Structure 1
């Protein structure tokens, strides 16, 4: 994997702001030729710097307005038990993010559902009926004051930057 130079960083920054830019428009914004920009973006995708290109939808407008942040503690924390739990939550589309964490609970999940009844059904499917789940602690968002997807590229340093 190659390191990022200043042009790579400018490309990544612009794509974080607006991934729908045409290659021509992106090239203009980062002060590069269109062919150079196209090659760079392809390399950034191939090398895994760009993991996924998506549209971020409005959960409220689509009727999925309940966000739950859920802490999960397992009875048994051996690797095979953690992997089994991750496989279980990966199959559930309402679970948007799953993190192994330390210290504290074993996992933190970000869940997006329509309403409390939907959350209750999901919690029963994933947590209550799962023998290895010891504790579930749920928090429900009443207001989202910030939501960002951008990584601050200027603050990063290290072998991949």
Structure 2
């Protein structure tokens, strides 16, 4: 297990600001968190190199790009040996429509968050990832009818 980094108040201000909008220039970010640009740049570099900041991305509205169907899918495997769990996890990671994949306990073995254009696309994904995979015993899917909250921020 990796050691959790010690974050001071400046690190927290930087992280909270970047989680709200990562498009700020270093100068803008420095001004927003009340430090000099060189200090800000050094801290962001340390947070990135230390793995606290994994990556910076643009969050795309799924409705604007035709990925209107969100499914939350529970997967139970027939055999839960470590290598079989790893095998399924790797297959899920290869699917572009699988946005998130979690090993969970108790209950199912995995919970997936899937984003696809429509039900035919979900069925194609289900065939590729679930029904053609010999170790999948049970699939339970929930289809979102309304997204009332979506956030990527973590309280720091």
TM-score for the superposition, normalised by structure 1 = 0.94
**Number of matched residues?**
153
- Report the 3-state secondary structure (helix = DSSP H, G, I; strand = E; otherwise coil) of the residue aligned with 2:113: strand
Cα distance in structure 1, aligned partners of 2:155 and 2:48: 18
Q: Where in structure 1 do 4 or more consecutive aligned residues deviate above 4 Å?
A: none
Structure 1: where are the runs of 5+ without partners? 154-161
Deviation at 1:52, TM superposition (A): 1.2
1:96 to 72, 75, 99: 99
Q: What does residue range 74-113 of structure 1 map to in structure 2 within 5 Å? A: 74-113=77-116
The equivalent of 1:140 in structure 2 is 143
Q: Which moved more, 1:2-11 or 1:65-74?
A: 2-11
TM-align CA RMSD: 0.8
- Report the 3-state secondary structure (helix = DSSP H, G, I; strand = E; otherwise coil) of the residue aligned with 1:83: helix
Cα distance in structure 2, aligned partners of 1:53 and 1:4: 19
The equivalent of 1:51 in structure 2 is 54
- Report the 3-state secondary structure (helix = DSSP H, G, I; strand = E; otherwise coil) of the residue aligned with 1:54: coil
Structure 1 residues 98-141: Cα deviation after superposition (integer angstroms, max 9, x where no partner): 00000000000000000000000000000000000000000000
- Tell me, yes or no, if structure 1 residue 4 matches structure 2 residue 7: yes
Cα distance in structure 1, aligned partners of 2:144 and 2:6: 39
Deviation at 1:94, TM superposition (A): 0.4
Structure 2: where are the runs of 5+ without partners? none
Deviation at 1:142, TM superposition (A): 0.3
The equivalent of 2:69 in structure 1 is 66
Cα distance in structure 2, aligned partners of 1:42 and 1:80: 36
The equivalent of 1:129 in structure 2 is 132
